[in-house]
Amino acid sequence: MKLAMISDIHGNEQALQAVLEDISNINASHIAVLGDLSYRGAKPKQCLDIIRGLDAKVIKGNADEWIVRGVREGEVPSKALSMMQAEQGWAKGKLTEDDLLYLDQLPKTLEIPLSNQKQIFACHATPTSMFDVISDQASNDDYQTYVQANERADYYVYGHIHLPFMRSFSGKKVINTGSVGLPFDGDPRASYVVFDRSQKDAQVQFRRVQYDIERACHDLDAEEYPEPARNIVKEIYQSAMKP
């Protein structure tokens, strides 16, 4: 069995379609989506429809929470608040009431058995928060929050920080999938992770997928994505660096 774990699509339909094509090409039979489906991209409705059409396990991210109930003061830098609220209002206006109900009711954590001996525990950011940031530079002690939530798991997988990495600690592994739609690691290609299960263990592979960045930027213009966020998102697509 091959399990593809993707996260942080952020309304980037071009990247999502490219990743799903790659998943099909490598014959991955299962997909898990770790949140942030629609907010901050030109195609919120299209991306959500694609995800809902998959036979996939899906959990909620902070951006999914935002798109339903808004971006609140104190959750983002004050200088970005009005811009991000405008983005939220624009994206929410593209979705139906049923879409919003779907996002609102998504679970926040996920357990996936890899074998009789190995298990994955996944969340968007941390088991107790969709907003907390545990970076790739965090100490091993910081990862104990995952162990405390599920001591049985062997792999702890999350998204949120848009930086793919894997680290071993205390006989376990913590993995970040990176981002499909908004990578922050200097590589503009979409990022996701594949677990290739064998009898006793699983091989972990990080996948990077090229997609049509020019078309993704065109989508932002064609859909009249709010300014000044439109240019910021384009810069992220083109440089894959957090502004």
pTM of the model: 0.95
Least confident interval from 127-136, 138-147, 182-191, 200-209:
200-209
CB 187 within 8 A of CB 208: yes
Least confident interval from 175-184, 189-198, 214-223:
189-198
Q: For the residues 216-237, what does the mean pLDDT come to?
A: 97
CA 80, CA 76: separation in Å to the nearest integer? 7
Mean pLDDT of the chain: 95
Asked if pLDDT for residue 243 goes beyond 60, the answer is no
pLDDT tens sequence across 103-147: 999 999 999 998 777 899 999 999 999 999 999 999 999 999 999
pLDDT tens sequence across 214-223: 999 999 999 9
Q: Which two tokens stand for residue 55?
A: 């036979």
Domains observed in the chain: 2-239 (3.60.21.10)
